[in-house]
């Protein structure tokens, strides 16, 4: 790495290393911005579905019926609560509704 920075392997290699070091933080910021936008959309969709079903509140969290020994049963759930109804949860990513076993 030191040889590249000093230019031992040529100016173009040095320039590419410098450009990569400058662009890496920019790329990371764009990735996290995309993830944040996706999470915000997921939360908005979850809340809209819970309100439409007559629930007072919505939150994103782990599903309640997961098996600690089988990670295939784990998923991110949209959990609807309140309004004197039993909690309902469904897969937040796909919107697959199912009643919670709680």
- 53-82: pLDDT as tens digits: 999 999 999 988 888 888 888 899 999 998
Q: Cβ(72)–Cβ(51) under 8 Å?
A: no
Q: Which pLDDT value is given to residue 44? A: 92
What is the distance between the alpha carbons of residues 53 and 79, in angstroms, rounded to a whole number?
12
Order of strands across the sheet that contains 57-62: 57-62, 76-81, 88-91, 96-99
Q: Cβ(65)–Cβ(101) under 8 Å?
A: yes
Give the pLDDT band of residue 100 (cuts 50, 70, 90).
very low
Give the pLDDT band of residue 28 (cuts 50, 70, 90).
very high
Q: CA dihedral in degrees (15, 17, 19, 22; nearest 10)?
A: -140
Q: Cβ(92)–Cβ(60) under 8 Å?
A: yes
pTM for the whole thing?
0.64
Give the pLDDT band of residue 16 (cuts 50, 70, 90).
confident
């Amino acid at each position: 790495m030191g040889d590249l920075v000093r230019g031992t392997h040529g100016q173009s290699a040095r320039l590419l290393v410098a450009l990569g070091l400058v662009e890496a933080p920019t790329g990371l910021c764009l990735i996290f911005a995309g993830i944040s936008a996706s999470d915000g959309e997921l939360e908005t969709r979850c809340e809209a579905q819970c309100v439409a079903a007559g629930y007072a509140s919505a939150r994103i969290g782990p599903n309640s019926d997961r098996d600690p020994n089988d990670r295939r049963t784990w998923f991110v759930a949209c959990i609807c609560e309140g309004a004197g109804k039993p909690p309902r949860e469904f897969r937040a990513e796909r919107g697959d509704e199912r009643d919670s076993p709680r």
